[in-house]
Structure 1
């Protein structure tokens, strides 16, 4: 087997090597059944057992209460930008949204097609380098729900606290920080996450929705987008992304074997502290984010001279440090250090950064 390199991609992101090896071993013959998971009927006993185990493992990892449905859907988190208002706004409703970066703004823009959206707070006045404190929020009395993006994958800002919104359902896009540390699901009405960062491969979206929020879809909501329909059909109203579901289940098993989200919190905490320390202790690298609002998962940094960006990336690839180029909208560098990125990867990156600074600082 060829050598695995260190992958800092923001998504589709690194998967645990042990998961890939299991998938490889089972690729053509799953558990002696003589066929691949990709070839199974989604209604077969074999695949239903895979799906049910994946759901139970996710419930165990996040301690999901029994009055929440776990849905395995398609369309990515971006489809949820429309699916959420179609299911929760009703016929002529309004909702509060918090603007902290590119992904929350995309959610706001899409939701605005289906009802009145109140931007209750924005990080714009902080140049999106800090999270507006809740004392700055202007929440509506009649909002059907409050939506926010706990971790902005591109900008690198993250809520390190859960908002208090009274009796309004709190809705969160947890695509890039789910399973990275413990999360009190009971504080939310709905959580959603594209899989391709901390869950599994692209093609799957997980939605965790409280039972009392089902059955409120707009009369024109497409059947395929109605959470109630998905829940009533075990996420199999149509053929689901079976292989992505299976691989995500393997990731959940791997996470449990590591010690669950509590263990990941310790590991991820160590990783992000090492990398931020390297950036903050440097004359060449910088991170503009307010320290209290820094992301654990997506760490952007810039070099003091943009002309050094290209040689930095070339040198990184030569050392097996992949996908460090920042998002095209912000430039610079970005290291995404999700669960499957080992601490050794961060150690290697920090060592290279120090070496590069000695040469070019």
Structure 2
């Protein structure tokens, strides 16, 4: 009796509605589909389909809620999780998946738990340097933990054997810029600085960066071409701060639709330190001054930034130290040292993993093969005994 084939069974991707979880899930879906594997997405009410580019991926929505707030909120969250677990169990019986891949966040919890209850192999993916709270709940049920960072905290020692470093998949448009060479600013030529503060921009950037640039010598300011993402409500105030500063170029927008092109063209980025931002910076290989969002869960952005800074690929500036004087001093140092910028760009490029989606798919399929091999050996042993 041979092991039951799973190549025709779907692989379930469990991801929440936030971009940090959805981007890597979509990238893995593309890779698995290209390899001829069926894929199904399970998400919550905030989640959406992978878009027009992947219309063949079915979407199932189940209930979930993050535990938090007062007693009533906690009871409500537990009730929602319970309903989600019932739905996920029914889904496991209906789809009989070959594997489940969880991308963190509480929307993945019911699906991963249901997979474990139904003896479906589970891989969870952690995008940050700190194992997220949902993934801490799920790690015992997982056979593999795919990670983006070389060092992971908040994980028990007896679970470290499950770790495989795959990187954090990026969008195809970002991966396409992997081969774009970095040319440090030279002579009296332009200095291109890109400022991004998350999906809605960061108010502190709109307040501090203009003041810092105003403290730089006029000869330096005239070379700076600044592209900055601002919160919509901060756009006009930021524009007023830059007025009359004599920059070589200025673009202020609430949202950039061409981030891969802008990253590839910039000499220095000033950004937060979220997982997707780190993955994109290092895939293309650009030096960055990282200002972690101070209220991120478990301060994971600081942990992300520290690892990149330790690799020589970025400079960490905590928000408490992100003042106009400190930033002006740091920019003066960096912009006056093109060789240092080039070294950081090279280190970032060496740290990045453009093939993260492929590595992640390899890890998922290896887990399935390992499980099938174990089942096949068990079946063969039983057959021989009979």
TM-score, normalised by the number of residues in structure 1: 0.31
Query: Which structure is higher in RCO with an 8 Å CA cutoff and minimum separation 6?
Result: 1
Query: Which structure dedicates a bigger proportion of its chain to helix?
Result: 2
TM-score, normalised by the number of residues in structure 2: 0.30
